[in-house]
Amino acid sequence: MRLLPALAFGALALPLAAHANDPHSYAQPDQVVVTHLDLDLKIDFPHKQLDGVATLKLDWKNPKAPALVLDTRALSIDSVAAVDASGNTQPLKYALAPADQELGSKLTIEAPAHPSQVRITYVTSPEASGLQWLLPAQTADKKLPFMFSQSESIHARSWVPLQDSPAIRFTYDAHVAAPKDVRVVMSALNDAKHPLDGDFKFDQPHAIPSYLLAIAAGDIAVKETGPRSAVYAEPSVVDKAASEFADTEKMIETAESLYGPYRWGRYDLLVLPPSFPFGGMENPNMTFATPTIIVGDKSLVSVISHELAHSWSGNLVTSAAWRDIWLNEGFTTYVQGRITEALYGKRQSDEEALLSARALQKSIAHMPANSQKLAPEPRGVGADDALSDVAYDKGSWFLRTLEQKFGRADFDAYLKGYFDHFAWHSITTEQMLAWLKPNLIDKYPGKMSWDEVQAWVYGTGIPKDAPLPDSPRFDTIDRRRTAFLAGTLAAVQLGAKDWNTQEWMYFLDRLPDVPTLAQVQAIDAAWHLTGTHNAEIGMRWYVHAIAAGDKDVWPAAAEHMTRIGRLYLTMPVYGAFARTPEGLSYAEQVYAKAKDGYHPMTQQAIGRLFAKAKEKQAAAK
């Protein structure tokens, strides 16, 4: 266990975190910091590229700094110039280094005169890792092309040259030219009544980190869901989405009652095509969401409460490095649970907490020791790899432990004070702990020791006394599953008619990794899971049925894999197929048909999975 370094528990010098160099960025914020981005973009659908002009306002920290160093990935740089107060430009010398596979290419701009602004003219690559371009046939309504970004973790650099580190925050404004009839939205204040005239302007007055820079464009309709919220989606989807997310204003009000005012003005939602690789992305003012959470009964809207919760934990108070990402995701998952409990009841929030905890208990022992820590040593941990179940589920479990130890009222007061104190800053785990010790641990002595805190944050595994909520319905499901597997209860007697999504997930999650063929066939005959459009249930079902050798589910599993690009819901099914040579061959055929509809991140992940599977199968021969 790594011990907590010595901390000064007095006043915190918040800006210091912004000047620590990030191992996942070439930026040198101890030399110069970008404070504002003025972005001018032209969307070129035929060539799958953005023609861009980025003007960066700079705050020079070192009077002897010779250069501005930026992050890029696969950008074609046309020109770089200094811009003076009158708008006059002067060309600057620059060098674009060879590309690193993870970090991209370092852009070094010679600027010994320390201009207040630097302007870069560039073009993105059609294979930009942070953008996905869809043909009309790949959208729901099949009328117009669609483009969207996914900048987290370090993919903003693939469509804007900038200091791509969560430690560095900047405001931005943007002008975007697009074809007429296409609506453009960004992670900024959006106008639902904006004419589709091909000329869009945006303003983000709050300083945000680069991974929250976002854009989307396509055949997008709008429907208001409250006084400060609306749903944006393709026309055929927007009504269903607005119905599913009708409680958005209630979610905002619930979070405000717990943790203080919503500081961003509007909270809008964009439902993306199914190829979006994540459940949701907390882009300020405009959450991007997967359509897989629209199931008609609001059972999966916790994804929205999660992304909304980021408006406090993540967007307002941000992790300063990807090693500290649990400060975003663990805190947010905890707040999500509180919103879910307030709106949909303790049963649903407890079931969701148990689902994540049980899954983590099953998986954490198989992780490398460093990956089991909330605050791992940064060496060898990629930026995307930091977004693991440990950050989300162990982090939220730690906060639920604090709530239990200190009581909900005192913990709520602490957490609200934490958000207020660190608002609009990016912080490290150590800065969070330096606030935690005097304001919770020492303030209420005898309730939790500092050694216990360190064990959660820097230790491996999960502490033995970690509290779990009770769920009588899950207990009943456990008994019925055990009886079914023992052969003393028929599948039709499981009593699953009234199970909600979470209860089906729990039943399937705790089946044997490889059930018998007879068992999966009996479940399917009784409950007709093959072909379900509930993607959470479908993913779990197909993984087990494929493992059991049920080839009858293969076509439906292929449809699931082709329809859904969300990594979490697609990769396990590919993985199940890839365990056998015949299954791998089938998965490769499915992928060949589905590939063009997947996000670049999904394509990369599937490519790596196939390569590992082939290596393993070759070694077994």
What amino acid positions are annotated as catalytic residues? 307, 392
Cβ-defined contacts of 527-535 (< 8 Å, 24+): 527/491, 527/494, 527/496, 530/556, 531/556, 531/559, 533/295, 534/295, 534/501, 534/504, 535/292, 535/560, 535/564, 535/566, 535/569
**Beta-sheet pairing, 32-44 with 169-177:** parallel
CB 1 within 8 A of CB 298: no
Backbone angles phi, psi at 466, to 5 degrees: -60, 125
| Residue 499, number of CB atoms within 10 A of its CB | 17
Cβ-defined contacts of 284-287 (< 8 Å, 24+): 284/187, 284/188, 284/204, 284/206, 284/208, 284/212, 284/311, 284/315, 285/187, 285/188, 285/189, 285/190, 285/204, 286/185, 286/186, 286/187, 286/188, 286/190, 286/214, 286/232
Query: For residues 543 and 522, what is the distance between their CA atoms, to the nearest angstrom?
Result: 16
185 three-state secondary structure:
strand
Which residues does residue 317 pair with via DSSP β-bridges, in sequence order? Answer: 313, 425
Question: Computed over its alpha carbons, how large is the radius of gyration of the chain?
Answer: 25
CB 14 within 8 A of CB 20: no
DSSP 99: P
